[in-house]
Amino acid sequence: MDWFVLSLLGAAAFAATGIIDKLLLGRFVQKPLAYLAALVIMQQALIPAIPFYLGWGWLFPQALYALATGAFQVILWAAYLRALQKEETSRIAALVYIFPIFVFLGSFLFLGESLHGDDYLGGSLLVCSAVLISYRLGQQARLSISPVLKHMAVFWFFTAAYALASKYLLGFMTEWHLILWSSLGSFLAILPILWHKETRRECKAYFRGGAFLFLALFANEILDFLGRGAFIFAYAQGSVALVSSLAALQPFITLLYVILLGRFFPGVLVEEMDRKALVIKVAAVLLIVAGVYLVS
């Protein structure tokens, strides 16, 4: 399976996790950090098979760097969940994929990957799509900027750092060992979050909330594991800039999911789907597709 297919698979998986996150945030979650901690704890149930079959793959100091990438994931997902709590799923999905711009710069400065004119033009289109999707029609037809951009800026920086660090580390360890050590790093990073009694209590409640909530968490983490794994394997096979850029198709996939959910399960997700809002979202997605085409 080549990096192109793996990137598409990762984008589709992450789009599905975004839908599940939004559904749970709107109904069960009070503290996003407690929810994130529950997901990371659930994640640990999926990784014991790696050292059992492949060994620990300890390599100093790269294993420590891989632990740090896990901490990056906690920071970026915390910012993402805070943004998702305040904004529509389809808008957040579009805003997510501005991070390739930072990957372009980092891959050029730190990994020696060259950039061309089309890459810069494609990056500019990605920026334009973020600006477009972040504006919305308010009262009296006035435009207002989305309040989540500050959270998304944190997400962009740490997602780019994670992608670049993963590409570097894959020169020293296998894809599975990178998944192992980054997952353990995420677990270590949530321990300070669980120090707060209220956060710890809410985190425990997710595992005691009945079969539906437990299965939703498990399905979310399976999809997240699939998405992370697909991108890590894609980073190993292709340019980190190109893989990150192709992943920007996620907003288009998310929009399809939202439309299908609205069709078969009306009212499950609260999204602006009137003609003007839909035109803006589709225009932003088209800019993203054009940007992806130019950089890939």
Residue labelled with tokens 């996620």? 250
Contact 113, 243 (CB under 8 A): no
Task: Tell me the pairing of strands 143-145 and 135-137.
Answer: antiparallel
What pLDDT is recorded for position 248?
Answer: 67
What pLDDT is recorded for position 139?
Answer: 42
Q: Provide the 3-class DSSP secondary structure of residue 141.
A: helix
What pLDDT is recorded for position 61?
Answer: 93
| Residue 137, φ and ψ in degrees, nearest 5 | -80, 125
Closest by Cα among 138, 72, 137, 127 to 94: 127
What pLDDT is recorded for position 184?
Answer: 95
Cα 282 to chain centroid, rounded: 20
What pLDDT is recorded for position 107?
Answer: 80
List Cα–Cα distances, 195 to 25, 34, 67, 191, in angstroms: 22, 11, 20, 7
What pLDDT is recorded for position 106?
Answer: 82
Domain boundaries, the chain: 3-295
pLDDT in tens, the chain (296 residues): 678 888 888 888 988 888 888 788 767 877 888 889 999 998 888 899 899 999 999 989 999 999 999 999 999 888 888 887 777 666 676 677 677 778 877 887 777 776 677 767 776 776 676 666 655 544 444 444 566 778 888 888 898 899 899 999 999 999 999 999 999 999 999 999 888 888 889 888 888 878 888 888 889 889 988 988 999 999 988 888 778 776 766 767 777 777 777 677 666 555 555 666 667 667 777 777 777 677 66
Question: CB under 8 Å, gap of 24 or more: what pairs does 138-146 form?
Answer: 146/87, 146/91, 146/95
Contact 38, 221 (CB under 8 A): no
What pLDDT is recorded for position 136?
Answer: 53
What pLDDT is recorded for position 93?
Answer: 66
